[in-house]
Amino acid sequence: MKRIVILASGSGTLAQAIIDAGLDIDIVAVISDQADAAVLERALNAHIETFTIPMLPDRAEWDRELETLLAALKPDLVVSAGFMRILSEKTVNRFRIINSHPALLPLFPGAHAVRDALLAGATETGTTIHWVDAGVDTGEVIAQERVEIHPGETEESLHERIKIVERGLIVATIASLISTMEKTNG
């Protein structure tokens, strides 16, 4: 059974989808940078160990703390599920990390992808699961799913519709990656 660590900063709907999916994985921990993140309560309710590493004044020290914790947890895969921090190059080179992003990358990278798509007048957007590299949403795309933008759509309504698609796509992508890892690693 593959060991998964989830990184999340917010409500935890993506993490909950992974928890509820019934995949043949061991979610060994949820790590957040926000002590009051609802994702931590979701994890505790599912009997998953939680850790909080608040951002520190010294970013390099925070990077070291996160890398040290990940190393101790020995994950086969790290899933960034609404984790609103850029990871250090050393961390992304050391661990296999995927991220979920609410746009069709390479379009609309960064923290305001939904707003940016609307401001650009896009007629469709979607969600992307990609490998995390040292850039901002620049890693190799693993999977994408499109979402049509309706006339008069608000950022909030569009983001909610994307999240529904995103939850299914991240679960399917993890299942596929785990299956591939099982075949190559035995």
| Among the listed residues 117, 118, 77, 72, the one whose alpha carbon sits nearest the alpha carbon of residue 99 | 77
101 carries an active-site annotation: yes
Range of the domain at 172: 2-185
User: What pLDDT score was predicted for residue 186?
Assistant: 53
Cis amide linkage into residue 106, ω under 30° from 0? yes
Angle between helices 155-185 and 13-20 (to 10 degrees): 40
User: What pLDDT score was predicted for residue 181?
Assistant: 87
User: What pLDDT score was predicted for residue 14?
Assistant: 96
> Is residue 167 classed as helix, strand or coil in its secondary structure?
helix
Kindly list the strands in the beta sheet with 25-32, ordered across the sheet, starting from the edge strand earlier in the chain: 50-52, 25-32, 2-7, 77-80, 97-101, 124-131, 141-148
Which residue ranges of the chain lie beneath pLDDT 50? none
Determine the Cα–Cα distance for residues 22 and 74; give it in Å rounded to an integer.
21
User: What pLDDT score was predicted for residue 29?
Assistant: 98
User: What pLDDT score was predicted for residue 182?
Assistant: 77
User: What pLDDT score was predicted for residue 184?
Assistant: 73
The count of domains in the chain is 1
Its pTM stands at 0.95
pLDDT per residue over 139-159, tens digit each? 999 999 999 999 999 999 999
Other CB atoms closer than 10 Å to residue 21's CB: what's the count? 16
Read off the CATH number of the domain in which 55 is found: 3.40.50.170
Residue found under tokens 């790290």: 78
Active-site pick, 101, 112, 130, 159: 101
Q: What is the DSSP letter of 150?
A: P
